[in-house]
Amino acid sequence: MNSKICNVIILDDCPARHKSADHLWPGCRIVHCYTYFHFLSEILKGTHFDIVALDHDLGDFRDADVGIPPTVHSFQSEPRPLNGCDAALWLTLNRSRAQFGDIIVHSANPHGAKRMMDTFAQAGWAGIIRKFIDVQ
């Protein structure tokens, strides 16, 4: 019998989606992150996450994390609200610092979801797009 606990990390600003995650993965240890920097701090703890679930839009940007986005270029852009695409790019640029299995993009923003999937595809990774069904 395999007694390994499944570890899930979810990055999303919507409390209903976090509640849905609890129902989607019963019995799993779920780390709930509402902001980019909280997500990054959890990833950097070195926990192996069997599932990484990412949203694109993280709030209305008034209360969102603001910073210099991770980049593959040598220049830095102006600070701006960070989103799930920034998280996807960080993961691809720092694969040796993050341990994870499946990637699920659950954004309701089709353009943001595509950009995230393209980021993973360019790194040679497969992801899954799956919309959440919010639990009331």
pLDDT at position 100: 84
Per residue in 4-38, pLDDT (tens digit) is 789 999 999 989 889 889 888 999 999 999 999 89
Per residue in 31-48, pLDDT (tens digit) is 999 999 899 999 999 999
Per residue in 80-128, pLDDT (tens digit) is 778 899 999 999 988 877 788 889 999 888 899 999 999 999 988 877 7
Which CATH fold would you assign to the domain 7-129? Rossmann fold (3.40.50)
Mean pLDDT, the chain, integer: 81
List strand residue ranges (DSSP E) for 55-110, in order. Answer: 66-67, 80-81, 99-105
End-to-end CA gap in the chain: 34
From residue 20, give the alpha-carbon distance in Å to each of 10, 46, 115, 131.
11, 25, 24, 11
- Give the span between the Cα atoms of 10 and 26, in whole angstroms: 14
The answer to whether the pTM exceeds 0.75 is: yes
pLDDT at position 105: 92
* Burial (CB count <10 Å: 0-12, 13-18, 19+), residue 48: exposed
